[in-house]
């Protein structure tokens, strides 16, 4: 099927008796592990495990009970080499699952519920999802003067708090919190503005799966599982707007939707080229400066350094010539922000791997036919005087 879609798919695994759509189905550890394997086989990149329901009216549980539900599942999935995220608001649970090998802690309160959460994650070395909410009661305080600006401001303050607690910026993921203290129209406004979160230069997780605002698209009384088609559609829209990951119950439908999008884009470009109607142009983006923690040496990982990015793109500009509309070409301002955000993500040893990641960012724009990215490392730890060190990766759409 060619290259896999860039946006990660996180499969939801609720090990709870009372979650709103699948409560009780996987409360047994054996059933939960079997379901996680199915999700992985369907294409999930990460399994996001929750042991406490956040549905409206759910009763809080003791952290010890939450941990007893999820720890055996975490341990087995990690043993099998499956990437694991744990959805928890309790620092004690986060500490235990990180020790068991969980890669990500997903806190729906962004560290506000438990004052020890951010420090605990900082010490444990996992990545953290900071989600916008107004507490664990998802129905409270749903008024906003401007939902997009208020969510952005809240998340910016939580990023500052996480960094102050010792969590490196490259270990932070943002989630606008669809369905949490938000009316249906608020969710649609947020989805339309997901790209604004790229301004933070941090990866964005979108979780619309089976949320109540999607239920309004269906006949009254429809089961929550009937929202999976709308979930796949909104996940695809989020991916088009730059989301790094989507979190879903039904992995197969969303993976298929993302693969269909990639295939359609390839087909569209191939058809234009075969018909001779495509007009190719080039876009040069040079000297994009971004800070990252990439390198083989531990001091490079800890202190970080500046990288300079040059991108040369071959682009189908046929529609842009006719429409004179920026949406029909590559918005180089947005691309620059996306490249900088990708540099700020999780560290890599080699700038070869970083350049390849940035080529993926360029090729995620459907008009880009071929991308060449050069990564300069002007502060490389070289013992003799030097002017520059750089690596270039070139790749066309569909190539690997």
Indicate the SS3 state at residue 18.
Answer: coil
Residue 182 annotated among the catalytic residues of the structure:
no
Q: pLDDT tens digits, residue range 246-263? A: 999 999 999 999 998 878
- For residues 253 and 119, state if they share a domain: yes
Over residues 343-361, mean pLDDT: 93
Residue after which a domain boundary falls, among 261, 295, 322: 261
pLDDT band at residue 4 under the 50/70/90 scheme: very low
- For residues 198 and 53, state if they share a domain: yes
Catalytic residue among 247, 357, 367, 377: 247
Catalytic residue among 95, 201, 211, 367: 211
Percent of the residues in the chain that have a pLDDT greater than 90, as a whole number: 70
Higher pLDDT, 68 or 274: 68
Assess contact for 241 and 380: CB atoms under 8 A: no
pLDDT above 60: residue 380: yes
Tell whether 270 is covered by a domain: no
Tell whether 272 is covered by a domain: no
d(CA 74, CA 87): 12
At residue 55, the pLDDT reads: 61
Over residues 17-40, mean pLDDT: 77
Close Cβ partners of 245 (under 8 Å, ≥ 6 residues apart): 7, 8, 9, 10, 45, 46, 173, 203, 204, 205, 206
Assess contact for 8 and 246: CB atoms under 8 A: yes
Higher pLDDT, 276 or 87: 87
Q: How many CA atoms lie within 13 A of 69 on its CB side?
A: 27
* CATH number of the structural domain spanning residue 380: 3.30.1130.10
pTM listed for this prediction: 0.71
Higher pLDDT, 321 or 36: 36
* CATH number of the structural domain spanning residue 118: 3.20.20.20
Residue 211 annotated among the catalytic residues of the structure:
yes
At residue 263, the pLDDT reads: 81
pLDDT above 60: residue 19: no
Tell whether 271 is covered by a domain: no
At residue 1, the pLDDT reads: 34
pLDDT mean across residues, the chain: 89
pLDDT above 50: residue 344: yes
pLDDT band at residue 138 under the 50/70/90 scheme: low
Q: pLDDT tens digits, residue range 260-317? A: 887 876 776 666 666 666 688 999 999 999 999 999 999 999 999 999 999 999 998 8
- For residues 163 and 242, state if they share a domain: yes
């Amino acid at each position: 099927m060619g290259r896999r879609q860039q946006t990660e798919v996180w499969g939801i695994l609720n090990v709870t008796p009372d979650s709103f759509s699948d409560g009780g189905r996987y409360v047994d550890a054996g059933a939960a592990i079997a379901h996680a394997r199915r999700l992985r086989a369907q294409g999930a990149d990460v399994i996001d495990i929750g042991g406490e329901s956040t549905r409206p009216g759910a009763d809080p549980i003791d952290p010890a009970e939450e941990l007893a539900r999820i720890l055996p599942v975490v341990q087995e999935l990690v043993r099998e080499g499956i990437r694991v995220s744990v959805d928890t608001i309790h620092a004690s649970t986060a500490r235990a699952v990180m020790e068991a090998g969980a890669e990500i802690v997903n806190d729906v309160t962004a560290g506000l519920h438990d004052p020890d959460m951010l420090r605990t994650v900082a010490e444990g070395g996992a990545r953290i999802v900071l989600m916008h909410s107004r507490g664990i009661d998802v129905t409270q305080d749903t008024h906003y003067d401007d939902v997009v600006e208020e969510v952005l401001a809240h998340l910016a303050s939580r990023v500052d708090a996480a960094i102050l607690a010792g969590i490196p910026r490259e270990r932070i993921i943002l989630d606008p919190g669809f369905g949490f203290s938000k009316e249906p129209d608020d969710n649609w406004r947020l989805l339309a503005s997901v790209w604004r979160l790229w301004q933070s230069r941090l990866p964005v997780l979108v979780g619309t799966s089976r949320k109540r605002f999607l239920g309004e698209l269906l006949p009254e009384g429809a089961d929550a599982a009937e929202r999976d088609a709308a979930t796949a559609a909104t996940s695809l829209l989020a991916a088009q707007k730059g989301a790094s990951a989507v979190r879903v119950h039904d992995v197969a439908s969303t993976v298929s939707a993302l693969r269909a999008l990639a295939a359609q884009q390839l087909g569209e470009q191939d058809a234009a080229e075969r018909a001779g109607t495509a007009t190719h142009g080039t876009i040069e983006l040079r000297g994009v400066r971004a800070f990252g923690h990439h390198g083989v040496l531990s001091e490079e990982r800890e202190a970080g350094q500046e990288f300079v990015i040059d991108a040369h793109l071959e682009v189908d500009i046929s529609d842009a010539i006719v429409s004179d509309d920026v949406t029909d070409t590559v918005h180089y301002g947005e691309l620059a922000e996306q490249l900088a955000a990708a540099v700020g993500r999780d560290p890599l040893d080699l700038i070869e791997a970083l350049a390849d990641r940035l080529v993926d960012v360029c090729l995620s724009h459907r008009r880009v036919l071929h991308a060449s990215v050069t990564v300069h490392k002007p502060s490389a730890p070289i013992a003799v005087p030097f002017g520059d060190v750089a690596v270039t990766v070139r790749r066309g759409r569909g190539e690997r």
